[in-house]
Homo-oligomer: A and B are copies of this chain.
Amino acid sequence: MATIGVDLGGTKTMAVLVDDGVVQAKAKRATPVSGGPDGVIDTIVRAVTKIDPDGRASAIGIGVPGPVIPGTGVLPAAPNLPGWDHDVPVGDLLTERLGRRPIVVDNDVNVATLAEHRLGAGVGVDNLLGVFAGTGVGAGLILDGVLRRGPRGLTGEIGHSFVAFRDLTSNGPGRGELDDYAGRRSMEQKARWLVEQGEDTVLFDLAEGGRLKSRIWAEAMDASDALCARILDEAAAALAAAIASAIVLIDLELVVLGGGLVERLGESFRKRVEEKLMERSFAGIATPICAPKMGDTGGAIGAALLVESYG
């Protein structure tokens, strides 16, 4: 039976109609940057109606950029969606518009991890962590073949795990969380702070006054920019430390490492994280790190698998 999956991102909204793991139809819309939840819900409804005008899909899954209160479809906050600074009952709002079938809402990183486990890099591996680095770092956790949410929906908030007592390596901002080293927002703050201390970098020239997007970091890396190399090295070390801690705590067989920043930096960065992870391995037990396989539609496809994953 066909199901619909929607990946709600800060810049774009992607909807897919999936039958037996195969995408039958696809629609992409810009996520509105003003108008708050109403405009975003409209956008989702239009994308869903486009790929399934007769409402024949048996269920709808939605991946959203923030933690979801388990079992409620409520998103308490979504820092990447303007105006979403209060509880938004995404599930209920969509049921009003698209009702008469199950609608399941989950975190975007959870659905991306689910897609990798069922159809991508993690097929056949029952205990894995999907780590996705972008503005911040998030993770999805599969244990015994089941996507885990946890009683309060916190599961996978690896960006808020601690890799340092405090940011001793640079005296820059942050309190020692993984996000402080490997989240793009903090990496930009740190670069800016280091420039204020008198250091040189091509990063801000490349950005031409804009934000330091993933592409900019990749270009500065290719240009052998020393400050960029140092921040990326810390990012790799922090990712390795957080992943190593996760492995000894819950015994993972595989780590899928992706996200906008990692995809742009490419395989050499992933290899660097894997080398640092090996240095930190417990009793020499190796845990491989691999790239996601699902590409741009991974999140939406994972969302389409959500209903089944709760079944």
Our pick among B139, B248, B252 for the contact of A158 (Cβ within 8 Å) is: B248
Interface of A, secondary structure class, is: loop
Our pick among B143, B151, B152 for the contact of A148 (Cβ within 8 Å) is: B143
Min C-beta distance of A183 to chain B, whole Å:
14
The answer to whether A160 touches B282, judged by C-beta atoms less than 8 angstroms apart, is yes
Does any Cβ of B come within 8 Å of A110's Cβ?
Answer: no
Does any Cβ of B come within 8 Å of A9's Cβ?
Answer: no
A246-B244 contact given A127-B151, A162-B280, A165-B164, CB 8 Å threshold:
no
Q: Which residues of B contact A175 (CB under 8 A)?
A: 280
A157-B282 contact given A151-B253, A251-B150, CB 8 Å threshold:
yes
Does any Cβ of B come within 8 Å of A187's Cβ?
Answer: no
Does any Cβ of B come within 8 Å of A6's Cβ?
Answer: no
Does any Cβ of B come within 8 Å of A114's Cβ?
Answer: no
Q: Which residues of B contact A253 (CB under 8 A)?
A: 151-152
Our pick among B164, B245, B250, B252 for the contact of A242 (Cβ within 8 Å) is: B245
| Contact digits for A129-141, partner B, Cβ 8 Å, 1 yes 0 no | 0000000000101
